[in-house]
Amino acid sequence: MSDTLDVAPARAGAAAARPLRVALVGNPNSGKTAMFNALTGSRQKVANYAGVTVERKEGQLVAASGRTVVVLDLPGTYSLRARSPDEVVTRDAVLGRLAGETPPDVVICVADATNLRLVLRLALELKAVGRPCVLALNMIDIAQRQGLEIDTDRLSRELSMPVVGTVATRRRGVETLVAEVEAQAAEAAGAGAGPSAWREPSATEIRALHREAERILKAAVRPPKRPDTWTGRLDGVLLHPVAGVLILLAVLFLMFQAVFTGAKPIMDLITAGFDQLSLIVGHLLPDGMLKSLICDGVIAGVGSVVVFLPQIMILFLFIILLEDVGYMARAAFLLDRIMGGAGLHGRAFIPLLSSFACAIPGIMATRVIDNRRDRLTTILVAPLMTCSARIPVYTLIISAFIPQRTVWGVLSLQGLVFFGLYAAGLVSALLVAWVVRKIFWRGAAEPFLMELPTYKVPDPMNVARNVLQRGQIFLQRAGTIILSMMILIWFLSTVPGKPAGAVGPAINYSLAGMIGHAIEPVLAPVGFSWQMSVALIPGMAAREVAVGALATVYSVAGEGGGEAVLGSSLAAHWSLASALAFLAWYVFAPQCASTLGVVKRETNSWRWPIIMFAYMTALAYAAAFVTYHVALALGGG
Amino acid sequence: MRRLADIDPPHETALEPLASLADGRRGFSGVIAELQDRPAAGGLAAGELERRLLEMGFVEGARVEILHEGFIGRDPICVRLDDMRVALRRRDARGVLVRPDPVRPGPAR
Ligand SMILES: Nc1nc2c(ncn2[C@@H]2O[C@H](COP(=O)(O)OP(=O)(O)O)[C@@H](O)[C@H]2O)c(=O)[nH]1
């Protein structure tokens, strides 16, 4: 660090001590995420921008020169003219207008070398901002394979910025890129990047930029000798009105079957592991409160959540693969009309599909929808999509109450019920969206304009890294929120202890018992016992907590711990009608405080989370009520 | 540069009337002749749809071809736009006026 102000460019030594700040800008699908990973490796920090919930990804690297470089990944965009909150962040960060953000010293514009037209216009826009820029000509491997000839010197001269060919997924060209960034920073040092004179371009100006981009493209790039023909051929099938839809349904169905049956062996292994651990620890500890806390509270609680990690990883494997292959945009194309019919934007498919994993990233992904109303509708229905936190609850109840039978020769009945629950969430989300549009607003929807990227063979390392990252995020939640909830539940259901000479299980006398008994009258008409009511309270923290809660409630109540026992324990205590009502409840209930919190942050008002809580609770109660009474009438008592 | 063939034969110089991309069927192709701001209904600021289309590459002189249609009501459409592929709804494509390629007998390109 320097103790003098570095006012003159001559004091390069002082400037070098300060970390260099770099921002990544680029079109969607240009490989920006891969580039960010290539640059920063695992030294990444994911947070949110102050005041808004756009994900802020920052990472660090040390350049060959020894200088620290801080890389900021910005949301993908086609233009600096911001139309969604994401793009506002990109624009303001580049312009240095973002409160609490140091403006970047250098902007790296990530370009897909095989698809330069639009990014050249973006690069021209960036150049007009006046900050030093470097163009990363990414996917240069694909360009070479296609025999695409790019005159990088010419490109560099025309754009008056350095151009570096890169393969982000293989880290090729990354060192050169960093060196160019440093050179640009050194050149600009002392020039004093003042406030930028950028303003929104008019339609005429965009046309002019287009012409300029077109001219540069003609001058510097010769069309590929072996253009990609796969994309056209695959689209012929995958976007076919009949075949394409069937394939889409098959892909989705395969995903659910894989999640449900594919993860089984690993899950059994994890269950056995935690049982063993509980046993070993139980032998080491003396009887009493501590042993109970560790075995029944901590180990059983964490175990019953960790066990679902395989399913979550498989689900994310599918989502990330579909995204990286380029199929996600096709699915959005195929589903646009259905989504549009429900008053949703075609792009809403992506947040909603993410909501299958978790409503929180899903709700955050609604920022890709420009129009506020379309966004709010999507946010309101996103928690109806079956998130992975419901999987533990569904799995538990289904395996305890639905016989393991095969129907129509190949399909497992359990898998079918599971699929039915997913479908119920999806259909109700579409219905609610339709109603929201009718009640809250009637207006024109946002335009639906989406680039369909070329198909790519996904990079296994890239996929593995992203899947692991998701798993890690889930585990962190499991490790923090859920563990503390487990201990709280253990506490609630153990304290105060059973008075001497009292009859019945100890939990009857605990705090949890009291709460459960208190809300039981409200839930009795839908067939919920007080134990079920107890499970709903901690289930507010996160849906999967309900499983741990049931485990704690029932293991404290009698038969001893263990995930395996829980199912049969439930089967003994609940009627089939109650179990089905519980499932129906979980399709709709807003059993997730984090979701409500994120909605509050995204919409910046308590109005929407309150509306969400009210309508979801009402739906859950109605669905459970109907399910319970229909099941009773059919003899499921 | 004008080639000899461009100059004379009347069947080549007779221009096809402009057609909106929104009305094209699968296989429809041509060159964008004009881009108008024609939002389907209110909700968007004036000129907004035009600028979005421009930013996506729908600009005068660009080649378009409808590659695919949605399975319900042939909507949305997937178009080849120069060398990229873009999906959009027909109602948003209303303002994209295309000079259709002359339909010529013989092998398609
Ligand atoms: N062959 C090749 N594939 C790449 C390269 N960079 C990214 N990809 C792939 O392109 C796809 C999109 O990349 P991603 O980083 O998610 O793009 P983003 O949307 O800009 O963040 C992924 O499947 C990547 O594995 C590259 O340089 N070469």
The finding on whether A177 has its CB within 6 A of some atom of ligand 1 is: no
Question: If we measure between CA atoms, which residue out of A58, A161, A48, A46 comes closest to residue A110?
Answer: A161
**Which atom of ligand 1 lies at the shortest distance from residue A325's CA?**
23
Dump pLDDT digits (tens) for A544-592: 777 877 876 776 444 444 556 788 888 888 899 999 999 999 999 987 7
Which residues, 6 or more positions from A608, have their beta carbon under 8 angstroms from its beta carbon?
Answer: A376, A379, A380, A599, A600
pLDDT for the residue numbered A200: 84
Residue of A361 and A162 predicted with greater confidence: A162
- Written as six digits, the tokens of A363 are 């709700």
Q: B63-95 pLDDT, tens per residue?
A: 999 999 998 889 899 999 998 999 999 989 999
**Nearest chain A CA: its distance from B38 CA (Å):** 11
Give me the residue from A115, A203, A341 closest to B51, CB to CB.
A203
CA distances from A258 to A96, A279, A310, A317, A441 (A): 46, 31, 10, 11, 39
Report in angstroms the alpha-carbon separations of A188 from A65, A152, A184: 18, 22, 6
Cβ distance of A336 and B92 shorter than 8 Å? no
Residue A425's pLDDT band (cuts 50, 70, 90)? very high
Q: Supply the pLDDT for residue A490.
A: 73
Q: Would you tell me the crossing angle of helices A327-341 and A349-357 to the nearest 10 degrees?
A: 110
String of b and e for B16-53 (b: at least 16 CB within 10 Å)? Answer: eeebebbebeeebbbebbebebbbbeebbeeebbbbbb
Distance between CA atoms of residues A201 and A625, nearest Å: 56
Nearest to A29 by CA among A67, A78, A63, A66: A78
Annotate A479-511 with DSSP letters as a single string.
IIIIHHHHHHHHHHHHSSPPPTT--S-GGGGSH
Could you tell me if residue B84 is inside a domain? yes
d(CA A617, CA A46): 32
Hey, whose CA ends up nearest to atom 17 of ligand 1? A31
B107 touches chain A (CB under 8 A): no
| Contact residues on chain A for B44, CB-CB shorter than 8 A | 444, 446-447
Higher pLDDT, A235 or A336: A235
pLDDT above 90 coverage of chain A, percent:
33
What integer pLDDT is reported at residue A561 of this predicted model? 45
Asked if residue A125 lies in contact with residue A27, where contact means CB atoms within 8 angstroms, the answer is no
For residue A29 and ligand 1, the question of a CB distance below 6 A is answered with yes
Q: Which residues of A touch B51 (CB under 8 A)?
A: 81, 202-203, 206
Q: pLDDT confidence of A83, banded at 50, 70, 90?
A: confident
How do residues A395-419 score in pLDDT, each as one tens digit? 888 988 888 888 777 778 888 888 8
Q: Mutate one of A371, A452, A454 to test the B interface: name it (highest B CB count within 10 A).
A: A452
Looking at the predicted structure, is the pLDDT value of residue A178 above 70?
yes
Distance A322 CA to ligand 1 centre (A): 13
Whether A375 lines ligand 1, by a CB cut-off of 6 Å, is no
Chain B: give the shortest CA distance to residue A70, in Å.
30
Residue in B closest to A245 by C-alpha: B71
Least confident of A199-203, A254-258, A321-325: A254-258
pLDDT category at A509 given cuts 50, 70, 90 is: confident
Burial A591-612 (b: 16+ CB within 10 A, else e): bbebbbebbbbbbeeeebbebb
Is-contact B77 A235, C-beta < 8 A? no
User: What's the rounded mean pLDDT across residues A423-451?
Assistant: 82
- Residue B78: the pLDDT is 96
Which runs of consecutive H residues, i.e. helices, occur in B8-47?
10-13
Q: pLDDT exceeding 70 applies to what percent of chain A? A: 83
Whole-angstrom distance, CA of residue B77 vs CA of residue B59: 18
- Give domain status of residue B106, yes or no: no
> Measured from the CA of A76, which atom of ligand 1 is nearest?
20
Cα A218 to ligand 1 centroid, rounded to whole Å? 25
Residue A273 has pLDDT above 70, yes or no: yes
Judge if the beta carbon of residue A184 lies within 6 A of ligand 1: no
CA distance A262 to A267: 10
pLDDT at A476 over 90: no
Which whole number is the average pLDDT over A186-194?
67
Could you give the number of structural domains in chain B? 1
- Output the domain CATH number for residue B27: 2.30.30.90
Q: What are the structure tokens assigned to A324, written together? A: 């990286």
Q: Does domain A14-222 have CATH number 3.40.50.300?
A: yes
Looking at residue A53, its pLDDT comes to 44
Of A459, A466, A467, A469, best ligand 1 pocket probe by most atoms within 8 Å of the beta carbon: A459
- CB contact (8 A) between residue B71 and residue A337: yes
Q: Is the CB of A363 under 6 A from ligand 1?
A: no
What is the residue-wise DSSP string for A552-605? HHHHHHTT---HHHHHHHHHHHS-HHHHHHHHHHHHH----HHHHHHHHHHHTS
Ligand 1, atom 13: closest residue by C-alpha? A31
**What are the chain A neighbours of B52 within 8 Å (beta carbons)?**
83, 447, 449
Measured distance CA(A544)–CA(A551) in Å, rounded: 11
With CB atoms and an 8 Å threshold, state whether B76 touches A333.
yes
B chain contacts of residue A203, beta-carbon cutoff 8 Å: 37, 47, 50-51, 54
- The answer to pTM > 0.90 is no
Task: Give the per-residue pLDDT at A7.
Answer: 39
Sheet holding A106-112, edge to edge: A44-48, A55-62, A68-73, A20-26, A106-112, A133-138, A163-165
Interatomic CA distance for residues B64 and A77, integer angstroms: 22
Higher pLDDT, A142 or B107: A142
Q: What is the pLDDT of residue B25?
A: 94
Q: Which atom of ligand 1 approaches the CA of A138 most closely?
A: 27
CB contact under 8 A, B67 and A444: no
Contacts with A231 from chain B: Cβ below 8 Å = 85
Instruction: Report CB contact under 8 Å: B68, A207.
Output: no
| B55/A245 CB distance under 8 A | no
What pLDDT was estimated at residue A366? 77
- Our CA angle for B10, B11, B16, nearest 5°, is 115
Of A57, A140, A324, A454, the one to substitute when testing ligand 1's pocket (max ligand atoms within 8 A of C-beta) is: A324
Domain segments of chain A as ranges: 14-222
Q: Is residue A226 classed exposed, middle or buried when 0-12, 13-18 and 19+ CB atoms within 10 A define those classes?
A: exposed
* Residue showing tokens 């689900």: A315
pLDDT surpassing 50 at residue A157:
yes
* Residue B6 counted as domain residue: no
A68 has pLDDT over 90:
yes
Comparing A331 with B29, the larger pLDDT belongs to B29
- When CB atoms are compared, the residue of B44, B73, B87 closest to A333 is B87
Residue A306 confidence class, pLDDT cut points 50, 70, 90: confident
CA–CA dist A337, A13 (Å, integer): 59
Task: Please report residues of B whose CB lies closer than 8 A to that of A207.
Answer: 54, 59-60
Cβ–Cβ gap B43/A118 under 8 Å? no
3-class DSSP state of A361: helix
Interface of A with B in 461-490 (CB under 8 A): none
Which residue from B99, B19, B102 is spatially nearest to B63, judged by alpha carbons?
B99
Is there a contact between B54 and A241 if contact means CB atoms under 8 Å apart? no
Contacts of B87 in chain A (CB under 8 A): 329, 332-333, 336, 346, 448-452
User: What is the distance between the alpha carbons of residues A33 and A110, in angstroms, rounded to a whole number?
Assistant: 10
Q: In what order do the strands lie in the sheet with B84-88?
A: A449-451, B84-88, B75-81, B63-72, B29-35, B96-100, B19-20
More confidently predicted of A133 and A96: A133
pLDDT, position B42: 57
Q: What is the value of ipTM here, to two decimals?
A: 0.84
Higher pLDDT, A55 or B1: A55
Interface contact B15, partner A, CB < 8 A: no
Burial of A356 (0-12, 13-18, 19+ CB in 10 A): buried
Question: From CA A465, how far away is CA A472, in angstroms rounded?
Answer: 10
> Does the Cβ of A141 fall within 6 Å of ligand 1?
yes
Top mutation candidate among A33, A77, A108, A470 for ligand 1, by most atoms within 8 Å of CB: A33
Residue with tokens 């109540």: A557
Instruction: Check if B38 contacts A (Cβ < 8 Å).
Output: no
In-domain check, residue B8:
no
Give A 212-231 residues with CB within 8 A of chain B: 214, 223, 227, 231
**Closest C-alpha residue for ligand 1 atom 28:** A139
Q: Which domain holds residue B54?
A: 16-100
Residue A504, C-beta contacts closer than 8 angstroms, at least 6 positions apart: none
Using pLDDT thresholds of 50, 70 and 90, give the confidence band for residue A614.
very high
Across all residues in chain A, what is the average pLDDT?
82
How many Å apart are CA A614 and CA A620, to the nearest integer?
10
B10 domain-assigned = no
Chain B residues in contact with A448 (beta carbon < 8 A): 76, 87-89, 92
A532: pLDDT confidence band, cut at 50, 70 and 90? Answer: confident
